[in-house]
Structure 1
């Protein structure tokens, strides 16, 4: 047997877990009609097949109709969920993987205009900042019904073959009862901590009576809300002791913090640039003092940290949830002593930010996650070896080279810069976002291990391509900043890239005009503000930086709000004119004919990129497919037809920002779904 602490079995009640690595409950928002159908099953099954000991589904499954599915939650209050749950559990059990599900009532952490348009309910009328619904304060008959709903849902999950359930408390209805900040009830469910725990204890008792003593029941809870007026660490430990003393709770899954605001949520689930495993020692303290089996997950992205958590007795099971979104094969690679091959989680939190904008969870640099029905996590070898030339070593080009090499092809990459990375290398100029470079470094290592040839400092021309005599040419040359967006004065502005790269020094009074809404504008603004300059961030949209999204916005705000920075929405920069040593900005709006002028000494424009596509168009007439991509084949993962030009010399494709300005995920997805069939 392996001596690796992570690969040791663990006995949880009557359940033997084959190792110490788990995927904690999370909702990737893959349900269809509230049911965990084939996409949901495939997502968990591929991770089960790779060896994870336990996967927890849902984050969280709704037990009641008046807990509307604001995250596209599984609807555990419907009987029809049972056969879908059974398909999922059977698929995972076939690979020796335990399966649990998280059940909850969201309380005020939802909105009334979802689901059946029932009012949100909570132990007070105070709304949650993140979801903005003013809840109805619970009545006794509401409480009785919700307790019964929990028991009904738990029974459905047992019938569906689950090994256990996890009751979700933190930030949800149970915690809203516990916390003095959110419970203004009088009588048996309000006032003292003992009274505030009554609802949860009644739920647990009702669940136990329904599922029996052998079924595993745990709870995920915050043992310290870390907020003014909220639960303290002492309160959290007292809650844990009370739960332990009931004899009805089989494990604790420990959280620290509060999730009612974006900053609070980001401290609970840290993003890139924030400390790894910030609450691990705290979880270990709860384990020591309470003695129940203890689980925990919060930015534990690497095997070394996970191994430390188990070896030092801080946890019984360690959650590597976002890490498994980046690489579902983690456990297999550990067992095969291939840890260096693990695709790293870079903390971009593209996954969660998409969920909180009503999207589905996607990993920023593993486009197969959530697409297991059509996209491979493991690349199969090609029937015929080909010569593949990739032009550009940004995220799209590096993924194309990696996948082509794993297919067994002979791969050559041309890159005009001295290093691989493209826009990712620019992003990683920020110390806070330097983890992003792992997207490139991992692919570079994978390529080098498979003999890919790199020609850096080489601006590829058509003659270079001819010399290589390729079968396939992939243009991944990216784009250049698009700053020609004004009616006049385009020569007076600089790009966000100029600031980030350090090619242009910040001015003293700076307008950052952001018409793209992505990271580049805020990253440039952060550099300018840190220099001591006045910065105005202007956008014609009704909100700024919409593509940065909630959790990633938090570090920017923390870096900007204590400096001389102003945010202006719904105004459009029309023109720029030289005025002595200053630049006059002509500012309008889409909402009226209003025009105003203000003076700055520097204007920075962020308006996406325009493709660097000259080489593509030069090669296009000589290609077998004339550069064409059949959309149906691309969408459904089928090989591309190459019969448009029988006299052509090679297949030609372009991907990423060489097509149009998008993002890192789109660029890498372009490469995977095209090259996997070459």
Structure 2
């Protein structure tokens, strides 16, 4: 056990198959969409290599299609021909040189057609795909054996390319999971029925890989520990499946996920509304069935303290952390060397996950250097000349600009009108379940203090103050305000912006606790945090939106949770509705599609979340001074635009 680290169990070596891992920290597979035309790119390689340079012991690639029918989109890596061989070899060599092992994740979606619903899917049974409702072609035995051979052939190719092993993706409703689960596998032949039949597909793949690649090649299985659907795999069934897999003698580790592509998908990537390590009891309960074969714990693990506890207290032998590694490539090394306070925190808002499932490249809102060379030991280029820089606004854009500029050697003063940093993000962190957003501000403040920023909170800067400081450059990050609902006539009644309601800690109009209406012209996760708060404060909440449905700005995984919470709290959702008149407790609505009208009576309070308008009183008064605008002050957008924009401006100063 390592004694020179605050986390000795986490950083102790472990044997996995024929390899020794230097510690227990692993990067599980995640889609990056960094490939182009199904070919590996340098950014794809960098993402994996930098996590090993940052201390991870084993990294699992994103999905590798085992045959042409498994190609979901142009960013899906293919492994069934030689086109990526050189890049597989190069990545494996560089990962090993950095002290880690590269595992390739073998994948076939089966019936699941999230990205490509027009493509003819193949499935285990004729049950429709739960998301696209596509009915698959049912594979016959010859087709099944062809796919088994495809898995084995790709594994053999990766073995020749120097990878340390492969992981069979048998979770989250993909093809292997479709065989394993009684929820999706209704066959009555040798490939279905009991555990023996349902596990045959995975067992034959693994046995074939072992025969082709030898005993030193790692063969892992990612499977569902609990699908969280009636009639699916639960922990008891997962234990029976695990025992049968152990009996083959071919598997070197098991990684347990949860949920599948149904409404239980919310649990697949548990967001900030779940407790840290929400599902770690699952691998702990399955370790006995694994009979000494290493088990990987997964799901909302974001701190070295939790990771240490998982290993120390027997929840798992390996700790898989995807989103924590997306936020900070050097998570492991910072933890190992006692610099946990420097780790850029993941707040589990699932923004990154939402981007990749729109087919976009993987991004992280407060890691602008994701997937670049040197990310794990990032060194900002020193400024050629130190300048006097004043930043106005202590929200996410201003804080980012301030600390990055200071880190590059500039003399930076930061003004914040509020006594508290964070801007609109601070208010979002006050909402139920969204307190994790405050960790972004805490990290930025630590960085600003570490790099010597002169922080002046509770001071609304004036043009005269700024001129008196004789700055070489001013960065304006003064944000934006919610604009009143367009066209709304208020003859009488109470109307308030959501931010003002939250800032009042729910005390605004505290004498009125009957019916509240939330006008959602925003569709971000924060808007539904406001709804959660109003549902607590009022007897009745009606949520109206001009669009045909809500949560269109939220990734579809977290959107499941939004619907679950709102319906669970009894919130009434009225789509296709625009407020046009409030008088005497009656709110008149107009349907923008049909032009029909309706009225909500006995309204005590109308709260609105709407498109923002820029707040910039200082810019016109700073003629003759170099002025840069960042964040909402430049153009009201999302948190990533604010932080990345602040970072980029600071690199240009």
TM-score, scaled relative to structure 2: 0.93
Secondary structure of the corresponding residue to residue 187 of structure 1: coil
Cα distance, 1:374–1:240 mapped onto 2, change above 3 Å: closer
Deviates more, 1:346-355 or 1:486-495: 486-495
Alpha-carbon distance in 2 for matches of 1:112, 1:553: 18
Quote the offset at 1:487 in angstroms.
5.4
| TM-aligned CA deviation for residue 535 of structure 1 | 2.3
Distance in 2, Cα, partners of 1:446 & 1:188: 59
What residue in structure 2 maps to residue 643 of structure 1?
A: none
After superposition, give the CA deviation of every residue in 1:289-328 in whole Å (9 maximum; x if it has no partner): 4211122221110001111222234322211221111111
Deviation at 1:228, TM superposition (A): 1.3
Shift of 1:597: 4.1
Q: Distance in 2 between matches of 1:293 and 1:403?
A: 41
Corresponding pairs, count: 641
The equivalences for 1:241-640 within 5 A come to 241-255=243-257, 257-262=258-263, 264-289=264-289, 290-370=291-371, 377-486=378-487, 488-489=489-490, 493-501=495-503, 502=506, 504-505=508-509, 508-573=514-579, 575-578=580-583, 580=584, 582-589=585-592, 591-599=593-601, 600-619=603-622, 621-623=623-625
Bigger Cα displacement from structure 2, 371-380 vs 43-52? 371-380
1:151-206 deviation digits (Å, cap 9, x = unpaired): 12112222332110000101211121121111111211122221111111122222
- On the 8 A contact 1:273/1:434 being kept in 2, the answer is no
Equivalent residue of 1:189, what SS? Answer: coil
- Describe the shift of the 1:227–1:476 C-alpha distance in structure 2 as closer, same or farther (beyond 3 A): same
CA drift at 1:249: 0.9
CA change 1:459–1:503 in 2 (3 A) is farther
2:643 alignment partner in structure 1: 668
> Is 1:90 matched with 2:93?
yes
**Deviation, structure 1 residue 111:** 4.8
Q: In structure 2, the residue corresponding to 1:133 is in which secondary structure? A: coil
SS at 1:266 equivalent: helix
**2:432·2:529 contact (CA, 8 Å) conserved in 1?**
no
Q: Which one is further off, 24-33 or 77-86?
A: 77-86
The equivalent position to 1:29 in structure 2, one of 23, 28, 33, is 33
- Residue 207 of structure 2 aligns to a residue in which SS? helix
SS state at 1:561 partner = helix
Kindly state the Cα deviation for residue 112 of structure 1 after the two structures are TM-superposed.
8.1
Q: Does the residue aligned with 1:6 lie in a helix, a strand or coil?
A: coil
For the pair 1:656 / 2:638, whether they are aligned, the reply is: no
Q: Deviations over 1:59-86 (max 9, x none)?
A: x222122224169432223331222222
The structure 2 residue matched to 1:20, chosen from 24, 28, 42, is 24
Task: Give the secondary structure class of the aligned counterpart of 2:10.
Answer: helix
Could you tell me how far 1:675 is from its partner in structure 2?
0.8
Q: Structure with the greater relative contact order (CA < 8 A, sep ≥ 6): 1 or 2? A: 2
Kindly tell me: are residues 337 and 375 of structure 1, through their superposed partners in 2, closer, same or farther at Cα, counting changes over 3 Å? Answer: closer
Local SS of the residue matching 1:557: helix
Structure 1 residue 350, shift from structure 2 partner: 1.0
- Distance across 1 between alignment mates of 2:222 and 2:150: 19
Deviations 1:549-601 (A, max 9, x none): 2232233333221333222223333x2142x3x13324131x34434444434
CA shift, 1:662, in A, is: 0.7
The alignment yields a C-alpha RMSD, in angstroms, of: 2.3
For the pair 1:232 / 2:234, whether they are aligned, the reply is yes
CA 1:465 to 1:258, structure 2 compared with 1: closer, same or farther past 3 Å? Answer: same
User: Helix, strand or coil: the match of 1:564?
Assistant: coil
Report how far residue 533 of structure 1 moved. Answer: 3.0
Distance across 2 between alignment mates of 1:223 and 1:274:
17
State whether residues 526 and 556 of structure 1, in contact with CA within 8 Å, keep that contact through their aligned partners in structure 2.
Answer: no
Gaps of 5+ in 2: none
Q: 1:403 to 1:296 in 2, by over 3 A?
A: same
SS at match of 1:165: strand
Q: Deviations over 1:270-295 (max 9, x none)?
A: 21131111222331232234211122
- Name the residue aligned to 2:198: 196
Which of 216, 219, 237 is the equivalent residue of 2:218?
216
Q: Partners of 1:374 and 1:33 in 2: how far apart?
A: 25
1:635 matched residue in structure 2? none
Q: Does 1:9 align with 2:47?
A: no
Normalising by the residue count of structure 1, what TM-score does the alignment of the two structures yield?
0.90
CA 1:394–1:103: 2 relative to 1, 3 Å: same
1:76-103 Cα deviation digits (max 9, x unpaired) = 2333122222232233223122111111
What is the match of residue 66 of structure 2? Answer: 63
Q: Over residues 94-133 of structure 1, what are the superposed CA-to-partner deviations in whole Å (9 max), with x where a residue is unaligned?
A: 312211111111112225846xx54112222222323432
In 2: Cα distance, 1:335 partner to 1:250 partner: 26
